[in-house]
């Protein structure tokens, strides 16, 4: 009986050991598989796309842009070192229509460009293009191009629903809504709104002493269009009219409906160019190209109304002469606002106070000429500046505590860079 008990004990022990070994082996396999998946995911690149002012092709007319035009070759594609911020070019999509503004959809599988031309062939309008993004490395494949609804499209953004592309046509003085089809292609515009009104003076109200910064007060110039964070409203600026317009988007028809009131006015001649919302959705910051100012508005998330509360110069107090403001960004954590100064060739840095007002911190030289725009990488650790006339993108590390920018000594050569956007293929899984 003892022998039978021992045999039973050893049999059960063997089974338990077998089960334990199998479970352990399975766990090890799962851990190894998880580690492999993480490693594979980490190996997926952080991709940067740089839009440029590019040389015209075939029967396209030269693009009307700030000199020197035409050094870019279309959309340049880079892989980005996540640790150092350095960029390595891995490809380009040749496009002679100056794809100066880019946007990527939430899924990370489509890219859209505004092609800042006055005419293609007999069509006296610009175009916008749709591209498919390859899931391994980010190569672009063209889907289609359609009319932008006006000359010189200078900005594109996506409606939060992902169903519409919003376009600002600078030389046409109009904004348009284009439907995004099921396959990612663009349809013909469902709405085109042409700005009308009295053009502002060529001398900006808030121009620095001695300024000759006269750029856009010759006619209407729609410069940017974007939804508010909630997606309830669409806003766009007209530099020549010194106005910020507010719309509602009918997502059934793709039509823009004027809000009440339809717009707010900026000081005459100051020229609103770009804007950015604070992460809380309630503070709205606008940058004025010719006045060299940044303005704070309270944004009513229920009514879409804007109420002005503060205006500051984007330049150091002692500055005199001409300057053209360019871009504006609020940091991901909402603690700092960054503004671009062309001719002064700096990025002005402001801290955000508890009530949304701004305090000037200082500025950082862009290491280039004519900083047209800039953007953060997805982590917010690096800022990339498109120095249009210097033909390069300069890379800065962001000090999260002070907001200051530290140059990394990294440049990426790009002819006439205009805009940079990022796609983290490890995050999207695409």
Q: What is the pLDDT, as a whole number, of residue 26?
A: 43
Q: What is the pLDDT, as a whole number, of residue 15?
A: 42
Q: What is the pLDDT, as a whole number, of residue 37?
A: 38
The yes-or-no verdict on residue 214 having pLDDT over 90 is no
Please give the structure tokens belonging to residue 262. Answer: 């339809």
Please give the structure tokens belonging to residue 173. Answer: 């003085």
CA angle, 67 as apex, 128 and 267 as ends, to 5°?
80
Q: What is the pLDDT, as a whole number, of residue 427?
A: 84
Q: What is the pLDDT, as a whole number, of residue 69?
A: 60
- E strands, 314-416, in order: 324-330, 336-342, 346-352, 358-365, 371-376, 382-387, 392-398, 405-413
* Cα distances (Å, whole numbers) of residue 135 to 141, 261, 373: 11, 44, 27
Tokens 């709405």: give the residue: 191
The yes-or-no verdict on residue 56 having pLDDT over 80 is no
**Mean pLDDT throughout 179-185?**
98
Per-residue pLDDT tens digits for 365-381:
999 999 999 999 999 99
Q: What is the pLDDT, as a whole number, of residue 198?
A: 97
Helix (H), strand (E) at residue 11: helix 2-43
**Mean pLDDT throughout 4-13?**
38
Q: What is the pLDDT, as a whole number, of residue 118?
A: 76
Buried b (16+ CB within 10 A) or exposed e, 86-103: bbeeebbbebbbbbbbbb
Question: Among 60-64, 83-87, 90-94, 156-160, which stretch is predicted with the lowest mean pLDDT?
Answer: 60-64
Q: Which long-range contacts (CB under 8 A, 24 or more apart) does 116-119 make?
A: 116/53, 116/63, 116/65, 116/152, 116/153, 116/154, 116/170, 116/418, 117/56, 117/60, 117/61, 117/63, 117/151, 117/152, 118/61, 118/63, 118/64, 118/151, 118/152, 118/171, 119/60, 119/61, 119/151
Cα separation, 102 vs 427, in Å, equals 20
* Most confident option among 10-19, 207-216, 405-414: 405-414
């Amino acid at each position: 009986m003892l022998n039978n008990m021992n045999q039973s004990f050893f049999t059960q022990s063997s089974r338990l050991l077998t089960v334990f070994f199998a479970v352990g082996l399975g766990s090890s396999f799962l851990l190894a598989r998880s580690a492999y998946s993480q490693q594979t995911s980490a190996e997926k690149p952080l991709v940067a796309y740089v839009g440029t002012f590019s040389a015209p092709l075939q029967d396209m007319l030269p693009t009307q842009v700030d000199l020197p035009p035409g050094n870019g070759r279309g959309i340049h594609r880079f892989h980005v070192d996540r640790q150092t911020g350095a960029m390595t070019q891995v490809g380009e999509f040749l496009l002679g229509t100056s794809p100066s503004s880019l946007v990527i959809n939430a899924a990370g599988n489509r890219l859209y460009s505004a092609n800042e031309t006055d005419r293609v062939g007999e069509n006296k309008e610009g175009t916008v293009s749709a591209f498919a993004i390859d899931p391994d490395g980010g190569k672009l494949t063209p889907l289609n191009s359609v009319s932008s609804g006006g000359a010189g499209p200078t900005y594109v953004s996506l409606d939060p629903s992902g169903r519409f592309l919003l376009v600002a046509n600078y030389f046409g003085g109009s904004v348009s809504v284009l439907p995004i089809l099921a396959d990612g292609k663009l349809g013909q515009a469902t709405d085109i709104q042409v700005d009308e009104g009295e053009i502002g003076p060529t001398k900006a109200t808030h121009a620095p002493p001695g300024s000759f910064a006269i750029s856009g007060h010759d006619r209407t110039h729609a410069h940017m269009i974007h939804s508010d964070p909630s997606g309830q409203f669409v806003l766009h600026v007209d530099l020549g009219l010194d106005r910020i317009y507010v719309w509602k988007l009918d997502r059934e028809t793709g039509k823009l409906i004027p809000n009440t009131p339809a717009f707010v006015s900026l000081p005459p001649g100051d020229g609103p160019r770009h804007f950015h919302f604070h992460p809380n959705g309630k503070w709205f910051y606008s940058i004025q190209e010719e006045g060299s100012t940044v303005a704070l508005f309270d944004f009513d998330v229920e009514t879409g109304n804007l109420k002005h509360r503060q205006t500051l110069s984007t330049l150091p107090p002692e500055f005199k002469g001409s300057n053209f403001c360019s871009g504006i960004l609020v940091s991901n954590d909402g603690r700092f606002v960054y503004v671009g100064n062309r001719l002064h060739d700096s990025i002005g840095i402001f801290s955000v106070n508890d009530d949304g007002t701004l305090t000037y911190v200082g500025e950082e030289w862009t290491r280039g000429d004519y900083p047209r725009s800039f953007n953060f990488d997805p982590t917010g650790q690096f800022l990339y500046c498109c120095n249009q006339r210097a033909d390069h993108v300069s890379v800065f590390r962001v000090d999260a505590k002070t907001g200051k920018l530290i140059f990394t000594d990294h440049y990426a050569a790009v002819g006439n860079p205009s805009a940079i956007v990022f796609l983290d293929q490890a995050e999207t899984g695409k």
